[in-house]
Amino acid sequence: MTHDAFLAACRDAIGTAHVLTDSHDTAPYLTDWRRRYTGAACAVLCPATSAEAAALVRLAVEHRVALVPQGGNTGLAGGATPDASGAQAVISLRRLNRMRDIDPHNNTITVEAGVILADVQKHAEAAGRLFPLSLAAEGSCTIGGNLSTNAGGTGVLRYGNTRELCLGLEVVTPQGELWDGLRGLRKDNTGYDLRDLFIGAEGTLGLITAAVLKLHPQPAARVTALAALASPHAALDFLALTQRVAGPLLTGFELMSDFCLRLVGRHFEQMRYPFAEPHAQVVLLELSDSESEQHARTLFEGLMETALEQDLVQDAVVAENLAQSRAFWNLREHIPLAQAEEGLNIKHDIAVPISRIGHFIETTDAAIAQAAPGARMVTFGHLGDGNLHYNVQAPEGVDAKSFLREYQSPINRIVYDSVHAHRGSISAEHGIGQLKIDEAAHYKQDVEVKMMRAIKQALDPLNLMNPGKVLR
């Protein structure tokens, strides 16, 4: 099938320079961040405005060309990578990168989908506000991608994930119509919540081109600390105590196993283990105070005194300055990088009810140890919202590729069966994409899948919006 007529029409719509067909130009758009998927495309289309994006969707409908929306291409589930047919077109939204408005009194900022997350944070800070979405890829991921995957990050405990940070959207429908839902309202009870349909849909129901996002006051001070604990159960008890003492001041509560930090130290020598003695678990916690640093530190000292008295915490170290706080966070953020240096591994981005995390880790670790003796568990994540990155590294000295070939499928089944038994989710913040499409269908109820298919059919009857993602 030739796409000459479609490509010619696209060039007329947005200019020849922004319709990429040369293999050298298209290559960066065709492989996902983890290099797990590589596809082909008839073109990479780069509109500069919402109107141009809508025009391209109308042309895709006319010529029956499927579109794969893409932002910063930092996704971890292959959701922004085309298939191998060469018949699909990637529509990159990186040129939709304007800050449209900031309203400090309404605590909102309106940005286009291609704006990089870190730039939103900087614009908010310049206005004396905080945009609290924060994740490792914030220097390259885009707001459109964050919304399409309902990204989480480290601030979910206090501020919620991307869905909770969005008040309104602008969306190109699968028919090429432009819906202006950019309303900065906290209350709008006028029918179905269309906004929430598109958030987390990974571009399968429409093309997000802009958003109104919530801002928050900048905290007067932050206190960051590392606490050593004996087990995930102790970490849960410590979380409950911290929430009781600190209330809404608690903005981060990250769990890291001893092996995670040992792995970081092995591959990044400048990042030393933070305690003199090894501890089974370490929690990175952060308090954000609207009053003063002294107030936050006094509260934290009282918290730690109680935690030590109750035998919840074995040791603790508090960041004395911004550089040390950044160093603590670097330990957490370098875990995936250390894993990559250690070799191929089996990754899981899962969520279970917070109260069940300790039991989940114990029972699932035991099942994996029995199925794959010597496998090393790299368990870390956002304990405060129940999201674990529950990863499995090959045994010491074992070839990682061989280990994955033999054990990836059985280990995935062990983990996902355990997640399901604990009433959890097999994807907490990375999305389904093409990576987990079959597993999602397997673990969801039939009635749930039927409703999702009905929505997809109603909005995108031609199945041109990111086909083969989220739903088969």
Crossing angle between the packed helical segments 357-371 and 232-246, to the nearest 10 degrees: 160
Three-state SS at 115? coil
**Strands 89-92, 67-70: parallel, antiparallel or unpaired by DSSP?**
parallel
The structure tokens 């085309």 sit at: 82
Query: Do the beta carbons of residue 367 and residue 422 sit within 8 Å?
Result: no
Three-state SS at 117? helix
Sign, CA torsion 112/117/118/120: positive
d(CA 419, CA 388): 11
Q: How many CB atoms lie within 10 A of CB 315?
A: 15
pLDDT at residue 1, as a whole number: 58
pLDDT at residue 121, as a whole number: 97
Residue 260: phi and psi, rounded to 5, are -55, -50
What residues contact residue 82 under an 8 Å CB cut-off, 6+ apart? 30, 39, 40, 41, 68, 88, 89, 90
Query: Do the beta carbons of residue 18 and residue 95 sit within 8 Å?
Result: yes
pLDDT at residue 153, as a whole number: 87
Three-state SS at 370? helix
pLDDT at residue 272, as a whole number: 85
Query: Do the beta carbons of residue 431 and residue 75 sit within 8 Å?
Result: yes
Query: Do the beta carbons of residue 379 and residue 363 sit within 8 Å?
Result: no
Q: What is the pTM of this model?
A: 0.92
d(CA 350, CA 426): 5
**Furthest-apart CA atoms within the chain: distance in Å:** 74
Residue-level pLDDT, tens digit, the chain, 472 residues: 579 999 999 999 999 999 999 999 999 999 998 888 999 999 999 999 999 999 999 999 999 999 999 999 999 899 999 999 999 999 999 999 999 999 999 999 999 999 999 999 999 999 999 999 999 889 999 999 999 999 998 889 999 999 999 999 999 999 999 999 999 999 999 999 999 999 999 999 999 999 999 999 999 999 999 999 999 999 999 999 999 999 999 999 999 999 999 999 999 988 888 898 999 999 999 999 888 888 888 998 899 999 999 999 999 999 988 889 999 999 999 999 999 899 999 999 999 999 999 999 999 999 999 999 999 999 999 999 999 999 999 999 999 999 999 999 999 999 999 999 999 999 999 999 999 999 999 999 999 999 999 999 999 999 999 999 999 8
Domains and CATH numbers, the chain: 4-92 (3.30.43.10), 99-217 (3.30.465.10), 221-327 (3.30.70.2190), 337-421 (3.30.70.2740)
Q: How many CB atoms lie within 10 A of CB 330?
A: 14
